[in-house]
């Protein structure tokens, strides 16, 4: 059986955590984490804190451990998640723009996200994300060249934001 770690807060940390609990604009998960630490500071057992807040003992132990390792800043944000990040390279963007400007689809008068994705051998999601970054909606715009030329004239030095 693992013993619960004791938490003794400094006045500064206690005040920060109380401010988080009172803040109506704080995220609910941040408020919960602050409550876990504040209750733990009152020398309550993990089991009692979990019952009071309606959460699992493991969750209490996790946030106490994170607090002991990193302090208040450690409980304010989630740890990075696993999984491969979405990678869209400038080459992908250039390839899509090249196809939009220089080719016509074989089966219809204009490109759709699906036909464009198939042509450039990318997922529909990635193509849609790139088009959205450039402000292009293939359903609404008959001539994509006008949009791309306007964007180039405005500011070619700024690349569109492609992150999620």
pLDDT digits (tens, 9 = 90+) for 95-109: 998 888 888 888 777
How far, in Å, are 99, 116, 120, 140, 145 from residue 107 at the CA level?
15, 12, 16, 19, 20
Query: Is 36 within 8 Å of 66 (Cβ atoms)?
Result: no
Question: Is the domain of 61 the same as that of 110?
Answer: no
Q: In the chain, pLDDT over 90 holds for what percent of residues?
A: 46
State the residue range of the domain holding 43.
Answer: 11-76
- Is pLDDT of 1 > 50? no
Shortest CA distance to 138 belongs to which of 151, 152, 124? Answer: 124
pLDDT for the residue 77 = 87
Question: Is the domain of 95 the same as that of 72?
Answer: no
Cα(18)–Cα(163) distance, integer angstroms: 34
How far, in Å, are 33, 74, 112 from residue 139 at the CA level?
45, 45, 7
Nearby residues of 36 by Cβ (< 8 Å), 6 or more positions away? 49, 53, 55, 59, 60, 63, 64
pLDDT for the residue 78 = 84
pLDDT for the residue 158 = 55
**Is residue 163 situated within a structural domain?**
no
- Is pLDDT of 157 > 80? no
| Average pLDDT over the chain, rounded to an integer | 84
Question: Rounded to the nearest 5 degrees, what angle is found at the Cα of 54, between the Cα atoms of 8 and 3?
Answer: 40
Query: Is 103 within 8 Å of 144 (Cβ atoms)?
Result: no
DSSP letter for 45, please.
-
Comparison of pLDDT for 13 and 152, the residue scoring more:
13
Question: Is the domain of 125 the same as that of 72?
Answer: no
Q: How many residues does the chain have?
A: 164
Question: Is the domain of 43 the same as that of 19?
Answer: yes
Given 22, 50, 76, the domain boundary residue is 76
Question: Is the domain of 71 the same as that of 94?
Answer: no
Structure tokens at 105: 């689809």
The predicted-structure confidence for 113-146, as pLDDT tens digits, reads as follows 899 999 999 999 999 988 888 778 877 655 666 5
Residue 147: band (very low, low, confident or very high) from pLDDT cuts 50, 70, 90: low
- Is pLDDT of 70 > 60? yes
**Angle formed by the axes of helices 11-22 and 28-41, to 10°?**
140
């Amino acid at each position: 059986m693992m013993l619960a770690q004791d938490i003794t807060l400094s006045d500064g940390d206690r005040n920060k955590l109380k401010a988080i609990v009172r803040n109506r604009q704080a995220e609910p998960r941040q408020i919960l984490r602050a409550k876990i630490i504040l209750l733990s500071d009152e020398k309550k057992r993990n089991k009692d804190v979990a019952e009071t807040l309606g959460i699992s003992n493991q969750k209490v132990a996790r946030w106490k451990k994170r607090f002991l390792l990193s302090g208040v800043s450690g409980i304010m944000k989630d740890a990075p998640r696993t999984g491969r990040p979405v990678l869209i390279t400038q080459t992908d963007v250039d390839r899509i723009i090249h196809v939009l400007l220089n080719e016509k689809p074989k089966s219809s008068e204009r490109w759709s996200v699906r036909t464009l994705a198939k042509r450039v051998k990318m997922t529909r999601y990635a193509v849609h994300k790139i088009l959205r970054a450039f402000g292009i909606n293939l359903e609404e715009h008959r001539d994509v060249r006008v949009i791309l030329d306007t964007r180039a004239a405005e500011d070619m030095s700024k690349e569109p934001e492609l992150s999620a």
